[in-house]
Amino acid sequence: MARSFVAEARRRVGPRRTRIRPIIERLAEAHPDATIALRSRSPLELLVAVMLSAQTTDVNVNRVTPHLFAKYRRPEDYLAVPPEELERDIYATGFFRQKARSIRGTMRLLLDEYEGEVPRTLAELVRLPGVARKTANVVAAELGNAQGIVVDTHVRRLSQRLGLTREHDPVKIERGLVTLVPRADWHRFPHLLIWHGRRVCLARAPRCGLCAVSDLCPSSRVEPADGRIDGGGVPPRGARDGRAQPSTE
């Protein structure tokens, strides 16, 4: 899209701050089931699942964790077996040697400094081996203490398409989003973008005709009927139908 058309599209949909609330509300209506896809029953299981999800899919992690969590229930359990055994147990998630080292290092630190409990703050979480800011943000948010906004590939792509950021670096994108998105929505906002990105706003072929926020999006391929977008109104007809056909992306 030529620069002049991009600028015109941004003028047409209006400022980011006037669009962010209707974007969140409409996506919440279109994707009421938008939540973390990783399955866990405790803070420790959540932490391990998120660590395993690096460079693989949530579906793949969920295939591995039922057996893993039945076998390893406490931090001590991850340290009680040879490293090679843990590597075999998480082999299917990829990068298994590196992940096994990180998990064992994390369990050791949890026992040494946190009495075996998963910390809740971002500053403490990023101290754990193999836990970068994205992982820490996910864990903190799912434990009820969101301190930032998770930026994965879907959040980055949709934030750019929606004209909420012009940045490409995840840290800079998050820095901008936390000033734009109401703090009460920091937890659910990335889930809404992730599920919308999987179901409707696909990377190669976005389904703009089914999009609940097409009239709020400067990248939309749907032409407004009156040549103007004011940020109001109801989701386009058929937007809810897109919910029933998730992509495998």
Instruction: Please give the full DSSP string across the chain, using - where no structure is assigned.
Output: --HHHHHHHHHHH--HHHHHHHHHHHHHHH-TT-S--S--SSHHHHHHHHHHTTTS-HHHHHHHHHHHHHH--SHHHHHHS-HHHHHHHTGGGS-HHHHHHHHHHHHHHHHHHSTTPPP-SHHHHTTSTT--HHHHHHHHHHTT---S----HHHHHHHHHTTS----SHHHHHHHHHHHS-GGGTTHHHHHHHHHHHHTS-SSS--GGG-TTGGG-TT--SPPTTS---S-S-PPTTTGGGGGS----
Per DSSP, the three-state class of 212 is coil
Residue 231, pLDDT > 50, answer no
- Could you tell me the pLDDT band of residue 76, with boundaries at 50, 70 and 90? very high
Taking alpha carbons only, the member of 150, 50, 184 closest to residue 106 is 50
How far is 12 from 216, CA to CA, in rounded Å?
9
Report residue 218: phi and psi, to 5°. -70, -15
Whether the CB-CB separation of 12 and 53 falls below 8 Å is answered with no
CA distance 132 to 51: 9
Counting beta carbons within 10 angstroms of the beta carbon of residue 14, is it exposed (0 to 12), middle (13 to 18) or buried (19 or more)?
Answer: middle
pLDDT band of 235, cuts 50, 70, 90? very low
What is the average pLDDT across 46-67?
97
What does the block give as tokens for 107? 């369990």
Confidence of residue 64 (pLDDT cuts 50, 70, 90): very high
Taking Cα atoms as reference points, which of 216, 106, 194 lies closest to residue 149?
194
Average pLDDT over residues 57-85: 98
Task: Look at residues 238, 241, 235, 156 and name the one whose alpha carbon lies nearest to residue 194.
Answer: 156
Statement: residue 44 has pLDDT above 50: yes
Where do the domains of the chain lie?
A: 3-35+152-244, 43-142
Give the pLDDT of residue 237. 38
Give residue-wise pLDDT tens across range 132-188: 999 999 999 999 999 999 999 999 999 999 999 999 999 999 999 999 999 999 999
Per-residue model confidence (pLDDT) at position 236:
41
Tokens 């295939």 belong to 63
Q: Report, as residue numbers or ranges, the catalytic residues.
A: 134, 152
Q: Which amino acid is at 29?
A: E
Do the domains at 3-35+152-244 and 43-142 have one common CATH topology? no
Does pLDDT of 42 surpass 90?
Answer: yes
Instruction: Give me the torsion for CA of 229, 25, 187, 190, rounded to 10°.
Output: -40
- Homologous superfamily assigned to 43-142: Hypothetical protein; domain 2 (1.10.340.30)
Q: What is the pLDDT of residue 223?
A: 73
35-49, 204-218, 232-246: which has the minimum mean pLDDT?
A: 232-246
Q: How confident is the model at residue 243 (pLDDT cuts 50, 70, 90)?
A: very low
CATH topology of domain 3-35+152-244: Endonuclease Iii, domain 2 (1.10.1670)
For the chain, what is the mean pLDDT?
A: 89
